Amino acid sequence: MFPKKPKIRKIVYLDNAATTAMDPRVKKTMEPYFSDLYGNPSGIYEMGRTVNKVLSEARGKIAKVLNTQPDNIIFTGGGTESDNLAVFGIAQMETGGHIITTKVEHKAVLGPVKRMEKKGFEATYLNVDGEGRININDVKKALKKNTILISVMYANNEIGTVQPIAEIGKMILKWRKENNTKYPYFHTDACQAAGALDLDVEKLHVDLLTFNGSKIYGPKGVGALYKRKGVDIQPQILGGGQEFGLRSGTENVPGIAGLAKALELVQADKEKENKRLIKLRAYFWEQLQKNIPKLHLNGSKLDDIKTRLPNNLNVTFLDIEGEALLLYLDEYGIVCSTGSACNSVSLDPSYVITACGLPYEYAHGSLRFTLGKNTTKTDIDYVMKYLPWIVGELRKISPVNCSLNHSTT
């Protein structure tokens, strides 16, 4: 029998990898550009010039965080568009070539790469180890004379694994020099990393970097692509020639102002917030292990910011379907995910977890809990009041209960 629902429904939001609540300071920054200063930034009249200045200021703020020049920042409609612009933009500059990526990339990268394969490009999808991390030597071995692009995400959206981007970048620079070529260009999707990790593009040695607002307590529907000076890309949206001719369409001024403010805030607070989240996640994992048997931690160890995002906890509850568990938790106001928010319409097992070498049963029974700056110990205690009970009841009625000989971690 399932636990009695509370009279007053409390919401505990643990899906911050999908999207985040807007910071009130970001909202305040955006407000003037909805109904007061609403002019088109391309206009030559005073209001147009004023909002164009807002765009320039936002570009400058973001460039400062990334340690680059403002002209290297291209505003887009979000992380997916930025990834598409990076992959298609580079590939379409050539009539063919070789692209290297990984088996655990976001579909905003995998989709464009697969599309280019159909158009005659060759692609290599790198394997990952049991924690979801690629081997730099595998990247080096995959390189060919006609490799034009390498795309490796900074941190994984499902299991939080952080990839060695700076080390890969250094290796690519060396390879270019040895082979006297401008290729391959190096792209990283930093949408999940932007709120917790360093985005200095000079230290990361990347040519292209994408991020968006919704993962950093900013607005949805806005993102950016960093493009190193001298890297040529083919625009994907044609029209008025905005964003240096690389992304046409009237710019989302409120969103862009909010994006810049959100990035400034999370980067300024990241060290303190990372420590808090690591401690809170450790408490959560300790409580899970203490109260629920047959669990498996997906991804890397929880104690190192260099290998895993501080807010991510992906756990397999053996002998249970993750979708069923998610829906029952929702009945008690507990919000989490079975994987990527952009893939939630699919009931297929997580391709990220299976790429780590785990069987389908582990992928089907996984839940992703991603903490945020508004998550408290009280929230975790509320989850633990109901989660063990729900797991126990679902295991009683699960058709796979005790059907397989599982090991626990």
- Active site residues per annotation: 342
Strand ranges (E), 56-192: 73-76, 98-102, 122-126, 147-151, 185-189
- In the numeric block, which tokens belong to residue 96? 């063919």
Task: Provide, for the chain, the percentages of residues in helix, strand and coil under a 3-state DSSP scheme, each rounded to the nearest 5.
Answer: 40, 15, 45
Q: Is the dihedral of CA 252, 240, 186, 126 positive or negative?
A: positive
Look at the block and give the residue holding tokens 């340690």: 67
Of the candidates 402, 342, 370, 343, the residue with the CA atom closest to the CA atom of residue 280: 370
- In the numeric block, which tokens belong to residue 128? 């990952």
Angle between helix 46-66 and 253-291 (nearest 10): 40
Residue 238 C-beta-side C-alpha neighbours within 13 Å: 1
- Per DSSP, 98 falls in state E
User: Rounded CA gap, 74 and 210, in Å?
Assistant: 10
User: Rounded CA gap, 264 and 250, in Å?
Assistant: 24
Phi, psi at 368, each rounded to 5°: -105, 120
How far, CA to CA in Å, does 104 sit from each of 96, 166, 183, 331?
A: 24, 18, 23, 31
User: Rounded CA gap, 159 and 368, in Å?
Assistant: 7
How far, CA to CA in Å, does 369 sit from each of 140, 239, 258, 287?
A: 34, 41, 26, 14
Contacts of residue 133, Cβ cutoff 8 Å, sequence gap at least 6: 161, 163, 164, 300, 307
